[in-house]
Amino acid sequence: MAYYAYVRVSTREQNIDRQLIALKPYKIPKRNIYCDYQSGKDFNRPAYQRLLKRLKPGDCLIVKSIDRLGRNYKDILFEWQRITKEIGSDILVLDMDLLDTREKKGSLTGMLIADMVLQIMAYFAQTERESIRQRQAEGIAAAKAKGKHIGRNPISNPEGFETVCALCYGGELTTREAAKLLSMSHTTFYRRFIAWEENLSVSEGRLSETALI
């Protein structure tokens, strides 16, 4: 059995250290760790596609949480079936003990429980993304209704800051594009964006990672 890991963040400015630290106990060779700097809205990611070509029956793929794999409900279920059924590899999700197919081979009850948990987690991953999009739309509509414009504010965050952060979080903008849009330096925007992500994770009570990294 060969162990592989998949790591994902939305932009190159984001840090992958937390995911790598979680993988350390498994001593996975560096060549077997695949990383994409891309949104989780679909599976058209170069590193992920290369990983699929290397997986073989009996291998094991490790991810920190299910939302590192993806955020689209149907796509997550499809990819899970492709890896575990078609390729014949196992999957271990570190943040959810029940999502470990290594322990459930040959156990009909164990497989049923894993499939049910997977569907619930995939559902929450997608609804979280849809909730973010809804807040984006509502924030933009509210700003337009008040006649407010995005601009520089030397004391607090600029108008539209949270909406632009949500666009970055959803993979619609890079942090450099966002900083330019808000007339902020990239360093200042990135520091405040990280704080915004952490606050979002706490307030939403995420079921997967405690913060987007």
Q: For the residues of 92-149, what is the DSSP string, one character each?
A: EETT-TT-BGGGTTT-HHHHHHHHHHHHHHHHHHHHHHHHHHHHHHHHHHHHHHTT--
CA angle 42, 93, 108 (to 5 degrees): 105
Radius of gyration of the chain (CA): 19
The whole model's pTM is what?
0.56
Distances in whole angstroms, Cα of residue 162 to Cα of each of 135, 158, 185: 9, 9, 16
Task: Estimate the share of the chain in helix, then strand, then coil, as percent rounded to the nearest 5.
Answer: 55, 10, 35
Highest mean pLDDT among 71-75, 94-98, 147-151 belongs to 94-98
Q: Is the pLDDT of residue 89 over 90?
A: yes
The per-residue pLDDT for 152 is 47
Same domain as 139, residue 72: no
Q: Per the structure, how many domains does the chain have?
A: 2
Q: Which of the residues 10, 39, 65, 208 is marked catalytic?
A: 10
Task: Give me the CATH number covering residue 159.
Answer: 1.10.472
Q: Classify residue 1 as exposed, middle or buried by CB count within 10 Å of its CB (0-12, 13-18, 19+).
A: exposed
Among candidates 116, 117, 60, which has minimal Cα distance to 84?
60
Same domain as 154, residue 119: no
Task: Give me the CATH number covering residue 59.
Answer: 3.40.50.1390
Q: List the strands of the sheet with 90-93, edge to edge.
A: 33-37, 3-9, 60-63, 90-93
In a domain, 66, yes or no: yes
Same domain as 161, residue 104: no
What does pLDDT average to over the chain?
78
In a domain, 211, yes or no: no
Same domain as 11, residue 43: yes
In a domain, 67, yes or no: yes
In a domain, 213, yes or no: no
Domain range for 148: 127-204
Taking residues 201-209, report their average pLDDT: 46
For the CA atoms of 195, 197, 200, 201, the dihedral, rounded to the nearest 10 degrees, stands at -110
Q: Is 10 considered catalytic here?
A: yes
Q: Is the pLDDT of residue 145 over 60?
A: yes
Other Cβ atoms less than 10 A from the Cβ of 61: the count is: 25
**By mean pLDDT, which of 19-23, 109-113, 118-122 is the weakest?**
109-113
The per-residue pLDDT for 150 is 46
Residue with tokens 């943040």: 95
Task: Indicate the residue among 79, 107, 124 that finishes a domain.
Answer: 124
The per-residue pLDDT for 153 is 46
**By mean pLDDT, which of 50-54, 58-62, 126-130, 207-211 is the weakest?**
207-211
Q: Is the pLDDT of residue 207 over 90?
A: no
CA angle 5, 6, 10 (to 5 degrees): 155
Same domain as 66, residue 10: yes
pLDDT in tens, 47-80: 999 999 999 999 999 999 887 887 777 788 888 8
Same domain as 137, residue 62: no
pLDDT bracket for residue 171 (50, 70, 90): confident
The per-residue pLDDT for 160 is 85
